[in-house]
């Protein structure tokens, strides 16, 4: 299967999941997770109509981006950002979907102040309480969102989650539902607009759409096994 065939099949599945849940496919942004895949694969996905690409490492994105400078790509960082790479990340990415601490948010804000461009960010939530994953704990999120929401150069657009791995995608549903409920609580407490929920990967994106995802992050389903 080619990348464009994979994308057609994914789009069909997005349509079906939207239909089941009374939603419009236009409400769901397909983010192509291109980590480990070369620039040519990204170009093929772009030619098939995708515009949002997610990378989990700053250096890898920096290596690929120059070969794709002629394309109107929205680059999104979806992996953990080390504080020594904040400045470089702020230059390359239009979105950071994985803001996972207040100090990181503050550093990003400072790095952006000199450039005069606001960065769109998502706050990553660690709903499973897993030690190996980054993200805000559920109880600390409302306060943190309120603080981060006041930083002038960050535009908080929503929440992101990577739930604990479940063999059966249906078992991820409670996490997706919790993220949506948490988002409603944070919006009220922090007075933020937060329109987006980034949840669902190749394995479970249909369930995430049924639970209100506005962004799904797919690697394997588009580019193949890593």
**Under rule CB under 6 A, which residues in 73-102 are in contact with ligand PLP?**
78-79
Report the candidate in 36, 167, 33 with the shortest Cα–Cα distance to residue 97: 33
Cα distances (angstroms) measured from residue 136 to each of 107, 130, 146: 17, 11, 13
67/70 Cα distance (integer angstroms): 8
Tell me which stretch binds ligand PLP (CB under 6 A): 20-28, 125-133, 171-179, 197-205.
197-205
x/- mask, ligand PLP, residues 100-139, rule CB under 6 A, reads ----------------------------------------
CA atoms within 13 A on the CB side of 74: 16
Is residue 220 at the binding interface for ligand PLP, with CB under 6 A as the rule?
yes
Instruction: Characterize the bridge pairing of strands 29-33 and 52-55.
Output: parallel
Where does this chain touch ligand PLP (CB under 6 A) — which range of 113-121, 128-136, 137-145, 215-223? Answer: 215-223
CA proximity to 55, closest of 85, 27, 84, 28: 85
From the list 15-23, 140-148, 173-181, 213-221, the region that binds ligand PLP by CB under 6 A is: 213-221
Q: Which residue has the tokens 């070969």?
A: 67
Q: Does 56 contact ligand PLP by CB under 6 A?
A: yes
- DSSP letter at 136 equals B
Contacting ligand PLP (CB under 6 A), which of 159, 162, 192, 208? 162
- The site for ligand PLP (CB under 6 A) is made up of 33, 35, 56, 78-79, 162, 201-203, 217-221
């Amino acid at each position: 299967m080619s990348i464009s065939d994979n994308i057609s099949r994914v789009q069909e599945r997005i349509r079906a999941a939207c239909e089941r849940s009374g939603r419009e496919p236009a409400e769901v942004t397909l983010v192509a997770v291109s980590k480990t895949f070369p620039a040519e694969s990204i170009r093929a996905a772009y030619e098939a109509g995708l515009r949002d690409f997610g990378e989990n490492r700053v250096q890898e994105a920096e290596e690929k981006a120059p070969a794709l400078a002629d394309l109107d790509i929205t680059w999104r960082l979806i992996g953990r950002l080390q504080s020594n790479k904040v400045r470089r990340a702020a230059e390359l990415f239009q979105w950071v979907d994985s803001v996972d601490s207040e100090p990181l948010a503050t550093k990003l804000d400072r790095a952006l102040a000199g450039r005069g461009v606001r960065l769109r960010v998502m706050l990553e939530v660690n709903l499973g309480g897993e030690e190996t994953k980054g993200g805000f704990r559920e109880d600390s999120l409302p306060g943190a969102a309120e603080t981060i929401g006041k930083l002038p150069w960050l535009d908080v657009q929503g929440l992101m989650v990577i739930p604990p791995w479940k063999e059966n995608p249906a078992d991820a549903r409670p996490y997706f539902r919790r993220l949506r409920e948490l988002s409603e609580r944070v919006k009220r407490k922090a007075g933020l607009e937060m329109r987006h929920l980034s949840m669902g990967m190749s394995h479970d994106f249909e369930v995430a759409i049924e639970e209100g995802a506005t962004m799904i992050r797919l690697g394997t389903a588009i580019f193949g096994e890593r």
